Structure 1
């Protein structure tokens, strides 16, 4: 199967997840507010300083992956927000890596969890 790609504007809230094409990796905003990447139900990466306050995650139109708390304050971000990154894609790959690709197809951020 192909990698799962998510366009700008993709949102997840508590108790929701994005999954890769094979269904064996998922990016979850957990009920407890943690933002975690799983490979076959084992955590492989988590966003720093999100637990227990994560309420919503957004892949923004400027290419930034952001987690907000209940007041809509940013509590974590990938740091890739830029007008130059409009048109980026968030990819949850079948190799278990979460990657942001710019509109030219170059990776601009990754969890480094590929196996």
Structure 2
């Protein structure tokens, strides 16, 4: 059980770092001039995250890792989009997040 928790924490951390890289790419493209520093830092973060996935893939099923990554990244990206970039989310997106959380709970319970 402790291994599952540690793997989840690792997946969450890797996904959060990846989302930060995405955030930097969004910032890089928002001004008239492309901010290459943000692009390079984002790419380096993605490369480091890839090394972390190597550890994750050795411990859990590929499909489970992908599922968790998808849900966590969707939630974190939506939070960044709404809280930092002031993007609006519609009712369908809210329903999708609720369903994703429910499916995450089911996966955690039965996988």
Q: Give me the TM-score of the superposition, normalised by structure 2.
A: 0.23
Q: Could you say which structure has the greater relative contact order, defined with CA pairs below 8 angstroms and 6 or more residues apart? A: 2
Structure richer in helix, relative to its length: 2
Q: Radius of gyration: which is bigger?
A: 2
Which structure has greater strand proportion? 1
